[in-house]
Amino acid sequence: MKNIKVSYINEACYLVIDGDIEFNESEDLLNIVNTQLPKQYSKIVIDLGNCSYIDSLGLSTLNIAYDLAKNNNKSLLLCNLNRDCEDILFMTTLWSKVPIKKDLNQCLQSVAS
């Protein structure tokens, strides 16, 4: 993961991941999610459109981020997954746990849980 761009759209904090989520960078993603929790946004959207690989620590990081968001009354959603990332998530329990949407618009339209 080379970079994480953070922006705010309506009621969502929008994180765009540029690169893969691997061992060396997973902590960066978790730190950014943690800094967004106190803010007044009901959703944290992670855009994985530029991510083609997620290793086991990256999967764990997404799981922890989801739990942190939920424990802070926020929704964490993923969007723009390519086929490889969809396959990786489908092989894990994350597929059924973390809401996955086609794009940002679907994330913004979803009801916060």
**Domain 3-109 bears CATH identifier 3.40.50.2300:** no
Token pair listed for 32? 């950014």
Model confidence, pTM:
0.92
Residue spans of the chain under pLDDT 50? 113
Q: Where are the beta strands (DSSP E) in 32-110?
A: 43-50, 75-79, 100-101
Per-residue model confidence (pLDDT) at position 113: 47
Task: Specify the 3-state DSSP secondary structure of 3.
Answer: strand
In the prediction, which pLDDT does 111 show? 66
What's the pLDDT at 23?
A: 85
